[in-house]
Amino acid sequence: MPQKQGVSVKEILHLPILKDAKVVSGLEGLDRIVRSIDNMEVPEIKPWLREGEILLTTTSFSHNEPNLLTKLVEDLAQAGAAALVFKPGQFIQQIPDEMIDLSNRYQLPLISVPVETSFIDITQSVMELVLNWQRVLLSRAEEIGTTLTNMVLENKGIQALADNVSGLLHVPISILDGDGNVLAQAPKEIIPNTTGCLEWDIMVNKQVAGKVIVNKESLDAMEQVCVDQARIVFSLELMRMKTAEQTEARLRGNFIDELLSELPPSELEVRKKGCQLDIDPDKLWEIGIVEGINSDLDGSILSELKALVMSEGQRMKLKPQMERRGTQILFLLPSMKDEDTPWLDILKLWIDQSLGDAKTRIHIGMGTQCFLWNIYQSYLEARKALEITSKTYAQYGLVPYEKIEIYEILADSVKNKELSDLFQKKLGKLLRYDQETGSELLKTLYRYLELGKNMQETAKQLYIHRNSVKYRLERIAEIAELDLSSAHQSFIYHLLITWYLLK
β partners of residue 173: 186, 214
Residue 21: pLDDT over 70? yes
Domains in the chain and their CATH numbers?
7-129 (3.40.1390.20), 155-246 (3.30.450.40), 279-400 (3.30.70.270), 413-502 (1.10.10.2840)
Tell me the per-residue pLDDT of 224-249, one tens digit each, with 9 for 90 and over: 999 999 999 999 999 998 898 889 98
Percent of the chain topping pLDDT 90: 53
Q: Cβ contacts of residue 483 below 8 Å, gap of 6+? A: 477, 489
Tell me the per-residue pLDDT of 312-323, one tens digit each, with 9 for 90 and over: 888 888 999 988
The Cα–Cα gap between 270 and 257 comes to 12
- Helices 158-169, 221-259: inter-axial angle, 10-degree rounding: 170
pLDDT of residue 2: 40
Residue 3: pLDDT over 70? no
Residue 407: pLDDT over 90? no
Among candidates 367, 370, 369, which has minimal Cα distance to 381?
A: 367
For 247, 264, 290, 311, the CA distances from 261, given in Å and listed in that order, are: 21, 5, 19, 29
Map residue 114 onto helix, strand or coil: coil
pLDDT of residue 268: 95
Task: Report angle CA 176, 182, 186 to the nearest 5 degrees.
Answer: 95
The Cα–Cα gap between 216 and 238 comes to 23
Among candidates 328, 323, 343, 344, which has minimal Cα distance to 293?
A: 328
The Cα–Cα gap between 439 and 316 comes to 49
Reported pTM: 0.60
Tell me the per-residue pLDDT of 179-190, one tens digit each, with 9 for 90 and over: 888 999 998 766
Tell me the per-residue pLDDT of 189-215, one tens digit each, with 9 for 90 and over: 666 566 778 999 999 888 999 999 999
